[in-house]
Amino acid sequence: SDKMKIKYFSICLVGMVVIGMLVLGQSWNVTFCKRSADSDNKATRITGFEQKEKSESLPIIYGITSTYKRHVQIAELTRLSQTLMHVPAFHWILTEDSDSKTNLVADFLSQSRLNYTHLFIKNNSSLGIVKDLNTRNNALRWIRENIPPSKDAIVYFMDDDNTYSLRVFEEIRKTKRGCAWPVGLAGGLLHEGPTECKDGKALQWKARWWPQRTVPIDMAGFAVHVKVLFENPTANFTDRPDLESGFLESLGFNRDNIEVNYCKDVLAWHTQTKTPVIVE
């Protein structure tokens, strides 16, 4: 009948419209996704370019880490390297307590995706107070022999078992000559070092162990510009209990002239890894 024909035609028409909308929708969705992906790729490329350009304009940080063979060595270096991967304009100087470069550390560094220099020298820990004296001074020697005195660069000593906020590297780049900040879990305190500061100077310091030290600070709590190393070519770490303070003294720093741009937040912690008990 005519009614049946009309009904059948209407159903077919509706079906064709629905199918057409689905096809168009799928095509639009594919096109939209492709454009979104292209936009994301473009944004990524721009961001990468801008970050590279920004990195080239930043003062470079030379992070010095002494390391020695033990069960947790690579675990701690891995954890530290994961932080350093996010730091632009950074060069890692890893100095081993060893008679030669070990394959273990060399392989680790080659896979780290970091700019690095691999050094080695044997420490004489049994003969003195400081266990990593030679490795630290070996890194200072390398800097003086390989970095131009005019280079805008800052030196920061980083223990392989410490914990670092990315914000601390922003503070390091503000260093004009020598800069200090508080360190958490150091010297038997929740934080050690400057506790009050104003206009780039420390007004008050907090230290429990040997509070009369010239600069009562942990190794993770200071950085120095390379120009200061060249101004004091014989300045090195010496075998004394107040290792950090003695080194800063040899560079001409004291509590009054070392820069302190912030002292409110703790951005570096003197953490220590528990030695594992291996039973196999």
Domain boundaries in the chain?
54-176+219-253
183, 168 contact by CB (below 8 A): no
Q: Which residues are catalytic?
A: 244
Q: What pLDDT sits at residue 56?
A: 75
Closest C-alpha to 92, from 118, 74, 110, 128:
118
Q: Which residue reads 């560079």 in tokens?
A: 251
CA distance 129 to 160: 20
Closest C-alpha to 65, from 89, 86, 81:
81
Residue 156 main-chain phi, psi, to 5 deg:
-135, 130
Q: What pLDDT sits at residue 1?
A: 56
- What is the sign of the dihedral through the CA atoms of 130, 195, 211 and 175? positive
The answer to whether domain 54-176+219-253 has CATH 3.40.50.360 is no
Q: How many other C-beta atoms lie within 10 A of the C-beta of residue 78?
A: 13
CA distance 206 to 145: 36
Residue 97, annotated as binding a ligand? no
* Residue 220: DSSP 8-state: G
Q: What pLDDT sits at residue 165?
A: 98
Q: What pLDDT sits at residue 15?
A: 55
- Residues across the chain: 280
Q: Which residue reads 């770490």 in tokens?
A: 237
202, 263 contact by CB (below 8 A): yes
**Model confidence over 122-148: pLDDT tens digits?**
998 677 889 999 999 999 999 999 999
CA distance 157 to 66: 9
Q: What pLDDT sits at residue 227?
A: 98
Torsion of CA 272, 246, 135, 217, to 10 degrees: 20
**Model confidence over 172-218: pLDDT tens digits?**
999 999 999 999 999 999 999 999 999 999 999 999 999 999 999 99
Low-confidence ranges of the chain (pLDDT < 50): 3, 5, 17-18, 23-24, 26-51
Q: What pLDDT sits at residue 116?
A: 98
Distances (CA, A) of 68 to 99, 117, 121: 11, 16, 10
